Structures are given as C-alpha cells and as structure tokens.
Amino acid sequence: MSEGPLLIFGVFVSVVFMAVGILGIHKKRKFTKSIQSMYKVSGVLVDTTVCQQHDDDNIVQDIHFPVYEYEWQGEKKRLYSTTNALHIKIGRPVHILIDPQTEEAICLEEQKASDSMLLIFGVIGLLTLILMILLGTGILS
C-alpha cells in the first residue's frame, strides 16, 4: 500500500481525535459556567452496581459503577454513576455538585476525569496530525 492513503487515513484519525478534544474544551467551559450556580456537598463512595457485558467471543466481564451517598436538605440521597470505575475504594470521600433547581447531582471528581480524558484525545490528535504532516513533507522518512 502506498504512503498516500495511509497519510490521508492518519490525518482523518487525527482530525477526529482533535474534534473530541475540542468537544472536551467546550464541555469544560460549559461546566465551569454551570458550577457557579451549584451547591457543593460532601459525599462518600458507599457501594457499586455491577453490570455484565458480553464481548464477541462470549466472554462475560463485570463492569462496576460507583454509588455515592450524600446529604441534601436533611435527607440522605444516593447518586448512581453511569461511569465505569476501574479502581473503586469504598469509603472514598468525594464532592457532589447539586443543581438547586433540578436537584440533579453529579460527582465532581468523575466530571474532572471525564473532561481530562477528552482533552487527552485532543492532544493525541494534534500530535498525530503533526506526525502526518512531517511524514507527508518527507522530513521524517
């Protein structure tokens, strides 16, 4: 296979990764604006929910989702996360952000981790684009 189609594919992949990074920047800016009207309360990781996932080879894998407990207006509440957690430490303190109008709650630490992952995709995309440009111009051969 010639270098041309590989370079085009590399540029395409890098642009997709950079688009994910730009989405991350937009999401982070939007979150930073909305956080100003939210209340921050202390919470703790108290449990997990487990979901089983089957892959193409019919191998079953358990996926763990954290469950956080916090107090809001004198009432104990639970926040069931939809983010897969690799390292779950029961009893770990967290910060819960609550929108006072909708009472929607989110875990601040999960939000920061999600935003960071999107930004990492953007950086990988930018580095890949630079590499493709250097390969295309013949500087790296």
Separation in Å, CA 3 to CA 11, 14, 81, 128: 12, 16, 45, 15
What are the mean pLDDT values of the chain's consecutive 10-residue runs (141 residues total)? Answer: 78 92 87 87 94 79 91 94 82 94 90 84 90 82 64
Q: 78-81: long-range contacts (C-beta < 8 A, 24 or more apart)?
A: 78/46, 79/43, 79/105, 79/106, 79/107, 80/49, 81/107, 81/110
Q: What is the pLDDT of residue 95?
A: 95
Please report, in angstroms and rounded to a whole number, the separation of the first and last CA atoms in the chain. 16
